Amino acid sequence: MDNLRNKQGFICDMDGVIYHGNRLLPGVKDFVDWLYKENKNFLFLTNSSERSKTELKQKLARMGLDVDESHFYTSALATAKFISSQCANATAYVIGAPGLLNALYEEGITMNDVNPDYVIVGETRNYNYENLQRAVAHVRSGAKLIGTNPDLTGPSEEGIIPACKSMVAPIELSSGKNAYFVGKPNPLMMRTGLKLLGVHSADAVMIGDRMDTDVIAGIETGLDTVLVLSGVTDKSDVEKFPYHPKYILDGVGNIPGLE
């Protein structure tokens, strides 16, 4: 466990690791205080595309955590960067929250509900039959289907709720086209995270609550991995996968006190 504390770079998921909805999880403040005290390089790397970096900073501030915007990276930012690198002056029909829309605008991607180059889907409460119908029509007409992340479900204060892949699935089924998902475990997110941290993969660790995104993303990028049981995964779930995290902890609050 001492090897974990000695890592210089910490890439940390947010939902189910730092908070559930608007509730800070136990031990998180101690963990963040420890990161600052020990001068660790850390990044909150979230598959959620709902909020901008500013909104994430404000969300944590309301819970009593003061974290600079430079410590956040989202699947919305990764999606916008990916599309701008693939297609100059791209247009998109978007089902998503303001964090995704802002990221796309900042990369020069404009909205188009007539003949878009892409249909982009992220988490949102504004999901209905009308925008689903339009998305299917655009994809069937040739628009490329992009999901900000492949999470089927996510944790909330009310329990487990549908996430991005659940919202993309009806479009895939109705159009006969498969989506490309940008968020974890896609290496695009992890490589950018390491670049932002400025550390080598051997000196970094990935902390998350999901085996199918966080843990596998860390393993495939060469990072040590920590599974925390504060989100959607129980310890018994680990045996269902052909790979294992290096460490399993109740939550990130355990890390500062490890021997």
d(C-alpha 41, C-alpha 51), whole Å: 22
Is residue 55 assigned to a domain? no
- Do 227 and 148 share a domain, yes or no? no
| Domain C-terminal end among 181, 207, 234 | 181
CATH code, 36: 3.40.50.1000
| Residues annotated catalytic, as ranges | 13, 15
Q: To the nearest 10°, report the CA torsion of 7, 190, 219, 19.
A: 70
- Among 123, 147, 181, give the residue marking a domain's end: 181
pTM of the predicted protein model: 0.91
Number of domains in the chain: 2
Residues 177 and 203 in one domain: no
Last residue of a domain, one of 126, 153, 181: 181
**Domain containing 109: what range?**
76-181
Residue keyed to tokens 């790397």: 45
What pLDDT digit, counting tens, does each position of 95-119 carry? 999 999 999 999 999 999 999 999 9
Q: Which residues of 2-11 are buried (b: 16+ CB within 10 A; e: fewer)?
A: eebeebbbbb
Over the stretch 219-238, which tens digit does the pLDDT of each residue have?
A: 999 999 999 999 889 999 99
Q: Are residues 100 and 43 in the same domain?
A: no
Same domain, yes or no, for 171 and 189?
no
